Structure 1
Amino acid sequence: MYQTILDVIFVIWLLVITILLLTRKNVIIVKSKRKVGRNKRRYIVFRVVGQGELSPRALETSVREAVKELVGRMWLEISDPHVIFYNPSNMSGIISTNRLGYRAVLASMPLVKSVSGTEVLLVPFKTTGSLKKAKSLIRSG
C-alpha cells in the first residue's frame, strides 16, 4: 500500500518537473563551434637527399610503406599521405595528409631508405596548412 502511494507521488513529481522544463521559454540550445566532418589538410614540404631521377608515384609508394611499417595499416588509412607535387630540379616536393595523421607521416619519413632501387633520404622541411604556402616554400628554397 505504501509502495503504490510512493510510486504515484514519484510519477506525479516527475510529470510536474517535465512540464516545467518543457514550458520554460529560455531553453538554451548549445551549438558546437567546430564543424563535424571537416577534415583539414596539412602539407609537408620535404627535400630529397640522393642521386638519380625519382617519380612522384614511387615516392608516394615508399612513404606509404614507411607509414604502414611504423604505425600500421590503420594509421596509414587515417593519414592517407599523397605526394601531390615533386620538383626533380631542386629535389623537393609536397606530401598532402590530414590533420589527424600528419605526425605519423613526419615520423615515418626517415624510414624511407630507398625509392625504386635508389638510396635516398627524405628530410621534412616545413609543415603548412595551405598548398599555396607550401608551393611558395618550394619556389623560394
Structure 2
Amino acid sequence: MVIFSYRTRIIYIKKIKNKRDTRAKRYVIFDIISEDNFEIREIEEAVRNSVKELGGKIWLDLSNPKVIMIYNNRGIISTNRIGYKIIIASLPLIKKIKNKEVLLVPRRTTGSLKRAKRLIGIE
C-alpha cells in the first residue's frame, strides 16, 4: 500500500495484483522413446542441460523444469507459464542419456497436475 499526503489530504492507493504476476504452473507431458528405462533424476538432468544449451542460464532459471513422475514411458515436467515453451522446444534436442539413445517427444501441456496424471494413464 502506498500513501501520498498533500497538506491535509491523505490519498491511499492500493496496489492491485494482476493474475499474470503470479507464477502459474504448467505441466508438460512427454513420451520417452527408448528401449532402456531411466530414472527421474537422469531425465531431469538431461532436460536442464538441454534448456541451458538452448536458452542459457537465464532461461534455465526462469523456467526451472522439474520432472515429477514417469509412468509407462510417459512423464510429466513441472514448470511455470513463462518457461513452458522453451522446455517444449528443448526436448527434441535430447539424443542421449547416459550414453543410451533416447528421444523425448512433447505431447500436451496442461494447467493442473490431476489432469496431467489422467492423461498419462494414472487415474
Cα distance in 1 for residues equivalent to 2:89 and 2:25? 17
CA RMSD of aligned residues (A): 2.2
Unaligned runs of 5+ in 2: 1-5
Aligned position for 2:44 = 60
Cα distance in 2 for residues equivalent to 1:49 and 1:35? 37
Higher helix share: 1
User: 1:30 Cα deviation (Å)?
Assistant: 6.2
Higher strand share: 2
2:93 is aligned with 1:111: yes
2:61 is aligned with 1:84: no
User: 1:38 Cα deviation (Å)?
Assistant: 2.6
Q: Tell which structure's C-alpha radius of gyration is larger.
A: 1
Give the direction of change, closer, same or farther, for the CA distance of 1:32–1:104 in structure 2 (3 Å limit). same
Aligned position for 1:100 = 82
Q: How many residues align?
A: 117
Cα distance in 1 for residues equivalent to 2:118 and 2:48? 25
Please report the TM-score for the alignment, with normalisation by the length of structure 1. Answer: 0.74
2:26 is aligned with 1:42: yes
Aligned position for 2:113 = 131
Unaligned runs of 5+ in 1: 1-17
User: 1:40 Cα deviation (Å)?
Assistant: 1.1
Please report the TM-score for the alignment, with normalisation by the length of structure 2. Answer: 0.84
Structure 1 segments, 4+ long, off by >4 Å, are 27-31
Aligned position for 2:35 = 51
**How many percent of aligned residue pairs carry the same amino acid?**
45
Cα distance in 2 for residues equivalent to 1:67 and 1:59? 12
